[in-house]
Structure 1
Amino acid sequence: MGLANCKECGKLFNSTTSKVCPDCRESEEEKFELVKEYLYENPKSTIEAVVEGTGVERELIIKFMRDQRLEETGIELNHSLNCKRCGAQISSGKFCSSCKNKLISEIDQSNKAEDKEKKKKGSEMFLRDRFKRK
């Protein structure tokens, strides 16, 4: 557990993985609930209409979309989200499905290679130790 400054208010707090303090996170949750209620009552609203109707910042609404808490089906996009890897347009999240699959595949291959290397090193050490005993 380390100390970090809140990305929003600058206050020092105990951080595990979050970049914002508990107070700012609670405030963000309240804003999310406002946006969610607004979209429930006004489906297919534009981002500007949501900003105007709720007072929630445009960047925060886009963050909710990046975090896959809001999807294009609930909000009319006049702002495009792009895949962080290939630049393709996406409705929510950070990566398109193609890049997600490629990243998962690359991670799996990397893990398999590491496991193979560990097994190889482990067997060499075992044999070396065995020959030393005789």
Structure 2
Amino acid sequence: MNVKNCSRCGKIYNYDGFRVCPTCRRDDEEDFQKVREYLYDSPGANIQEVSEKTEVDSKKIIDFLRGGRLEIGEGSNLILECESCGTSIRTGRFCDKCASGIQRELGAVVDAARSKLDLSKRDEKFRLADKYGKKR
């Protein structure tokens, strides 16, 4: 059994691939639903207003934006910046240009690793040996 401490509340839980325990994840989902419902009713609201009305910390709302769960509306005064180049974005961590570049770089690394693996497999040739171990 793989157990860890929750990175948020510190409780021990059966590790299931997430850094936070199921209770904290459930709390996060409830907060997300509150924010989503408020934004549905008040689409032009800023983070401060959403945070005050929903009682959800503004940092958590920004995490929802960075995670791609929320998107900044057109004409909003909120600025979210690409973590690579600093350009304004509406959701996520990277702008489309930087995300494409990262994806290309990752693809090149994967392709290089695959070709290296293929080459090493090709080098493994089997030869017949006679009963004395001499290769023919």
What band does the TM-score fall into relative to the shorter chain? 0.7 to 0.9
Name whichever structure is richer in helix by fraction.
1
8 Å contact from structure 1 (residues 83, 90) kept in 2: yes
Aligned length in residues: 131
Structure 1 counterpart of 2:101: 102
Aligned partners of 2:10, 2:19: CA distance in 1, in Å? Answer: 10
8 Å contact from structure 1 (residues 65, 71) kept in 2: yes
TM-score (structure 2 length as normaliser): 0.85
Aligned partners of 1:27, 1:2: CA distance in 2, in Å? Answer: 23
Structure 1 counterpart of 2:127: 130
CA deviations 1:60-91 (Å, max 9, x no partner) are: 1001101111101289343x222222222211
8 Å contact from structure 1 (residues 47, 75) kept in 2: no
Aligned partners of 1:15, 1:99: CA distance in 2, in Å? Answer: 33
1:3 is displaced (CA, Å) by 2.4
TM-score (structure 1 length as normaliser): 0.87
How do residues 80-95 of structure 1 correspond to structure 2 at under 5 angstroms? 80-95=79-94
RMSD: 2.0
Aligned partners of 1:96, 1:107: CA distance in 2, in Å? Answer: 16
1:131 is displaced (CA, Å) by 7.1
1:2 is displaced (CA, Å) by 3.3
1:99 is displaced (CA, Å) by 1.2
Name whichever structure is richer in strand by fraction.
1
**Aligned AA (1:107):** L
**Aligned AA (1:53):** K
Classify 1:3/1:75 alpha carbon distance in 2 versus 1 (closer, same or farther; 3 Å).
Answer: farther
1:4 is displaced (CA, Å) by 2.1
Sequence identity (%): 34
8 Å contact from structure 1 (residues 3, 15) kept in 2: yes
Unaligned 5+ segments in structure 1 are none
- Residue 36 (structure 2) pairs with residue 36 (structure 1): yes
How do residues 7-86 of structure 1 correspond to structure 2 at under 5 angstroms? 7-73=7-73, 76-78=76-78, 80-86=79-85
1:105 is displaced (CA, Å) by 0.8
**Aligned AA (2:113):** E
**Aligned AA (2:91):** S
